[in-house]
Amino acid sequence: MDEAIQRAIELRNASQHTEALTILLDLNNANPDDAMVNYELASTFGAEGVKDEAIGFYEHAIACGLQGEELRCAFVSLGSNYLGVGRFGDAARMLQRGATIFPDAPEFDIFLAMARYHLGEHQEAMRLLLSHIAEYSAEASTQAHKRAILYGAEHLDQAEEI
């Protein structure tokens, strides 16, 4: 099964999605609760832009016990797909869950900020983005002002104190 999954990944990476899906759907028919098969199906449907299909397979992969780096990617991708179909509350919940499980994964901040923005939580969205910029930007002048940016992120309604 591992060889078939690897072949499907190679096909997907070569933009041969139909061929990859054929392999993965056959594997899924034989192993419907295999976390990796569901994850790779979700990734392939996502690469095709078929968000609703991707969502179902990501959800099932997570429910089937997906682990490690694939789980981290599944949380981000599922949250992103939820955003893409307008399921902003689901996106925020999934991304927050991922950020809790993977606290050192900075990508969650960005997608969670988009979800919070769409939910009308503009201050929280701005706080997430400013904190992310301050923590992860390698640009020298941004780092020179890191303390002020972080302070401002936590005190957005008190601009006169920044």
List the domain boundaries for the chain.
Answer: 1-66, 88-162
pLDDT tens-digit series, residues 18-45: 999 999 999 999 999 999 999 999 999 9
Average pLDDT over residues 44-68: 96
Fold for 1-66, please state it: 1.25.40
Residue 157: the pLDDT is: 81
Q: What is the separation of C-alpha 129 from the centre of its chain, rounded to a whole number of angstroms?
A: 16
Q: Please report, for residues 17, 37, 129, the alpha-carbon distance to residue 46 in angstroms, rounded to integers and kept in the order given.
A: 10, 14, 25
- pLDDT higher than 60, residue 60: yes
Residue 54: exposed, middle, or buried by beta-carbon count in 10 A (0-12, 13-18, 19+)?
Answer: buried
Residue 151: the pLDDT is: 87
Hey, do 1-66 and 88-162 end up sharing a CATH topology, with the first three levels equal? yes
Is this model's pTM higher than 0.75 or not?
A: yes
Residue type, 61: A
Query: What is the rounded distance in angstroms from the CA atom of residue 82 to the CA atom of residue 88?
Result: 6
Query: What is the rounded distance in angstroms from the CA atom of residue 61 to the CA atom of residue 3?
Result: 19
pLDDT, mean over the chain? 94
pLDDT tens-digit series, residues 80-119: 999 999 999 999 999 999 999 999 999 999 999 999 999 9
CATH architecture of 88-162: Alpha Horseshoe (1.25)
pLDDT tens-digit series, residues 113-161: 999 999 999 999 999 999 999 999 999 999 999 898 888 888 888 755 5
Among the residues of 102-145, which ranges form H helices? 107-118, 122-136, 140-144
